[in-house]
Amino acid sequence: MSLRFILGRSGSGKSHECLKAMKDAVDRNEKNNLILIVPEQFSFEAEKKVLRFIGEKSVFKVQVLSFKRLCYKVFNSVGGATHKRLNDCGKSILIYDILRSLKKELTVFQRASTKQGFTDVILEIITEFKRYNITPEILKETSENLTEKELRDKLNDLYKIYNLFESNLHKSYIDGEDELSMAYEKLDKCTIFDNAEVWIDEFSTFTPQQYNIIKKLMKKSKRVNIALCCDGENYSQEDSGEDIFSVVKATEDKIIRIAMENNIALDKDVNLESNTFRNIDELDHVEKNFFRYPYSKYTKEPMNLRIFKALNNYEEVEFVSKDIVSLVRDKGYRFNEIAVICRELESYEKIVSVLFNDYNIPYFLDSRRKITDNPFIILVLSIFDIKNKNWSYESVFRYLKTGLLDIPKEDVDKLENFVLAYGIKGKKWSEFWRYGLTSKKDQDEYIKDVINPINEIRETVISPLKILHDKLSSQSTVKDLCTYIYEFLVEIKAMEKIELWIREFRDSGDNEKADEYEKVIQIIFNVFDQLVELMGDSKIKLDSFVEFLTIGLNCEDIGIIPFALDQVIVGDLARIKSHDIRAVYIIGVNDGIFPRASREEGILSDDDRNMLKNLGVTLSSDTKTKAFEENFLIYNSITMASDYMVMTYPLADLEGGALRPSVLISRFKKIFPKLIEESTLLKEKDEEALESVVTPESTFNELISVMRTYYDKNENVGDIWAEVYTWFEEREKWNEKVNRVLKGLTYSNLVSSVRTEKIRALYKKPYAFDVSRIEKYAQCPFAYFVQYGLKARDRKIYEFGNPDFGSFVHEVLDSFSKKVKTDKLSWREIDDKWSQESINGIVEKLIEEDSILKSSSKYNYMTSKIKKVLNKSVSVISEHFKRSTFEVLDSEVIFGEGKHKPIKLNLPNGEEILLRGRIDRVDVLEYDGNLYVRVVDYKSGNKKFSLDEVYNGLQIQLLIYLDAILSNEQLLMKKNTIPGAILYFRIDDPIVSTSGKISEEDLKNEILKNLKMNGLLLNDTEILVQMDNEINQYSVIIPAYVGKNGVSESLSSVATKEQFDLLREYVRKTVVELCDNMLKGNIEIHPIKNDGAPCCDYCNFNAVCQFDTTIKDNSYKSINKKQKEELWELIEKKVKTIEDGGES
């Protein structure tokens, strides 16, 4: 019975010393057992090393164990593990059940107890209690001795949870965390370790449970050898508080105390030289000086130590990829001699996977992955979602799009389009669908081609689900529910589909994906088993069952076993353990990430832990100790390589957020003053080109970027890339890809015109155009062509959007105006009560039984909101007339159809075009022998009149409407007509902000200001006063300011009669010009950008035109704002030029 330490700094050969001693014992043919104990995640690697170092004889002589495997050895030898083992999934389910049952009894954790994430927190603290031999009784006793109320309440809650957990658990099961304690009790009877020699390697600390096992091993074994990474002979007690090895030395001291307390002999330590296995001076210098204060500078230029600064994570990993290929190709490295280390592996996993595959680098990602995004898991959970969410679109198609059903993808797409178009959900899924039938002329054909096929797909979807949901409706036991789901999965052949996928993955060489799906099947049925074991005969509500199932699935993850021996290992700093590594890449060396910023986590704070420690209850490390442990992890990573080390960091993350380099980077620069930080920004073009020529796949991706630069910027790419291009072009495998890229780079999305005869055939004579649509052509000719020429449209979705809202309120206001007229009332006479009853009645009449506005509570709320908006708008319009002498002439005036003729204009070639439109309201005033006409357009948005937009053809609608009315002798009875105004009225119920109480009159004025009409008024003081009898300087209803000296042109939006006539002529000529271009086939992709907002932001056809300002010749037509005076001059000049027969 003896204890010996094998001590040495990183790279000194501690593991080699252990293996050498084992080999010597094997060679001497010693009869006693030889046992190597390593951390669980290193056991596979350790077995390979033992086999390589000792040979085949080691298979029979040396046992490689982790502490978990040691427990199994003991139980297999002497028995003891008679109960079933509950895994983390089962424990999570048990804890969640306990938290639900204890909710009313908890003090501190009552609110948190029902949250799913809290289950993980409790599982973590219970696991910690067990590893540190803290029983529920110790918690209770400790809480009774506490004076600090908050911690006492915490411990009382934890005692209740922990005590009930232990009580329920040990009725039928054992916890994996209890196995070490059980093994400790059984070790005395186990003969495997009698007179054995034990080596313990790769640990820096142990839990109290592990210390107990080590104590028993020291008593039973011939000798226990413990290898620890620390400076043995040179260690000073003065350094023990702050030294990088302080955590390890604390471990050594603890084991020595245990040995002395148990009369275990202490053999002389084996102290190893620090640089035995490190071949490079600068790396040896790193090991000796990085955590040394003061440090010694390395005066030579380091050749095997590099720092690389990248623009982002992608460039960072790409640099690493190129360098790895260079090491293997040019310097004889093997992939398994290379490691990539980072602190946040999840942020690098996808990038590493993509780039390492491009560069043909075999790799193993040492990580565990959550399974909740796997299609099989999504399928199972969506079964319940469909029932609980009443067959909502999202739940049904989440289920259908897993790909695990025996339904063709094309059928799923057809079904989705149909469901979206008609808003199908809930009980409608069980009905025979006839949607869209009444609007079809040929109903028989529609039934044959659409109705019958879509109902067949519907039936295929709902039949198995309906049977399952009927079973789930009654209150069942947990066992019943698990059985129903299993039977359902068999019926829809989901497992068969997954097995097919697994075979396909294997055949294509994707063993990792195949393993993932195999494990997912095992996991989900394991969760079912755990549920049945724990709660099988308990009756349970479906919602509760889903919660338990989700808890169980959320705690499961997948670890992948390496499939090859020669591959780069990629892992997190805390997990990665490997020997014989020649080259190390440490990536993501950024501030707050590497090293990780220390922060308090979990239920117990640092203060809580320190108070408990003072009472004799020791738990895991506090934040300060974790900071030392983090430094020790960093020490291990920067000393892992024997030949070559690279540290990299990005300046920004993939979202563009700025990142700073870690303090480690500045520390390296200080210790190595001649170390030059590298960056692609500092490299010569030819040098960078040479480094980019690596594997064909990666080089081809680089070539695409280079070719893009050549074609877009016409830059010389250099001889190297020209040769690379030739290389790819000459090889059959790559030739087609090169040509495809070339076509893509030289491809232009620009279209200038369509042949005249085709475009005219599309629009057909007589050429009739809606005025509002012509504005669309002015915004972007191509968008107009796609929407109104080709008649392209979005997928129909059952929703009430902004366009629907606009159309609906227009219809209501038209009906209301007609009712005012029918009831022989004027807008001045109506009161709020009458208007509210009328509006509400009109709205209800327009909403039929199957209207979307009656389809859900959401739309019921929208209906009430629409009524409120309309009532407010009508109230404001009424107030406008009370302040005005203008009268309504007509509403919803349609010209171009019915009794009002279209506006006729002639194109330059003599052809006639017709303009159509719908005017919301026409007001008139007979005054001084003239008839003044005011055109009002209702807008649901905040539309502003702009002379700039009129000049650019973007706002011609109101002026064309005015022209149509002034030209309509039938409507105006041949009176002398003068334009009075063109105005926009916003339909809204504005929120008025006030600083305090406000009178009813002031509130009314504030609402009027909010809904003030805007547009262009006749510059005539008397007429403006007729529009607003109460005008006092600023009008609250029209865009005018009338002072002592009359109308202020700078503070009003006004124009003279002559200017109105000029605008009428201008827009006519603008329309002729636009329509002429349209009929000549001009469909150029040249969208307008107005006030910094491109019209593309609201366009549904971006995917069609593929407009992109980064593509050559793709640019916006920007509107340059001009002064009012300049605009009038330009408008007048353009009209005169056209009239004189010149080009505009």
CA dihedral 992, 993, 999, 1005 (to 10 degrees): -50
Burial class (CB in 10 A: 0-12, 13-18, 19+), 601: exposed
Three-class DSSP category at 893? strand
Q: Return the pLDDT at 241.
A: 43
How far apart CA 467 and CA 99 sit, in angstroms, is 34
Three-class DSSP category at 370? strand
Parse the chain into domains and list their residue ranges: 2-79+181-271, 84-171, 281-368+565-682, 375-555, 685-746, 751-798+881-1119
What is the bridge-based pairing of β-strands 644-650 and 583-586?
Answer: parallel
Q: Return the pLDDT at 211.
A: 93
Closest CA to 1127 of 1034, 977, 1016, 967: 1016
What single-letter DSSP state applies at residue 897? B
How far apart CA 866 and CA 847 sit, in angstroms, is 12
Q: Are 152 and 146 in contact (CB under 8 A)?
A: yes
In terms of pTM, does the model score above 0.85?
Answer: no
How far apart CA 320 and CA 283 sit, in angstroms, is 19
Closest CA to 344 of 570, 554, 559, 568: 570
Q: Are 586 and 342 in contact (CB under 8 A)?
A: yes
Does the annotation place 1096 within a ligand binding site? yes
For residue 1124, give every residue at least 6 positions away whose Cβ sits within 8 Å of its Cβ, in sequence order, or none.
947
Q: Which CATH superfamily is domain 281-368+565-682 in?
A: P-loop containing nucleotide triphosphate hydrolases (3.40.50.300)
What is the bridge-based pairing of β-strands 368-370 and 677-679?
Answer: unpaired
Count CA atoms closer than 13 A to 113's CA, side-chain side.
Answer: 21
> Which residues of 316-454 form beta strands (DSSP E)?
338-342, 363-366, 368-370
Q: Return the pLDDT at 239.
A: 46
Phi, psi at 612, each rounded to 5°: -65, -35
> Which residues of 383-522 form beta strands (DSSP E)?
476-477
Q: Return the pLDDT at 940.
A: 85
Q: Are 471 and 479 in contact (CB under 8 A)?
A: no
Three-class DSSP category at 937? strand
Q: In this structure, which topology does domain 375-555 adopt according to CATH?
A: PCRA; domain 4 (1.10.486)
Q: Are 826 and 881 in contact (CB under 8 A)?
A: yes
Residues of the chain with pLDDT under 70: 80-83, 116, 232-242, 274-279, 439-441, 559-564, 578-579, 598-601, 622-624, 681-691, 709-717, 746-747, 752, 849-850, 970-974, 1092, 1110, 1139-1144
What is the bridge-based pairing of β-strands 1054-1055 and 977-986?
Answer: unpaired
Helix then strand count (H, E) for the chain reads 44, 34
Sign of the torsion angle spanned by Cα atoms 258, 260, 262, 265: positive
**Tokens linked to 756:** 């005249």
Closest CA to 421 of 797, 793, 854: 797
Taking domain 2-79+181-271, whether its CATH number is 1.10.579.10 is answered by no
Cα separation values, 12 from 18, 46, 401, Å: 12, 18, 55
| Length reported for the chain | 1144
Query: What phi-psi label fits residue 1008: left (phi over 0), alpha (psi between -120 and 50 degrees) or beta?
Result: alpha
Q: Return the pLDDT at 201.
A: 93
**Tokens linked to 355:** 């780039």
Over 600-614, what HEC string results? CCCCCCHHHHHHHHH
Q: Are 951 and 1130 in contact (CB under 8 A)?
A: yes
| Topology agreement, domain 2-79+181-271 and domain 375-555 | no
Sign of the torsion angle spanned by Cα atoms 783, 785, 787, 790: negative
Residue with tokens 């303009």: 915
Q: Give one DSSP letter per residue of 838-885, joined into a string.
A: HHHHHHHHHS-TT-GGGSSHHHHHHHHHHHHHHHHHHHHHHHHHHT--
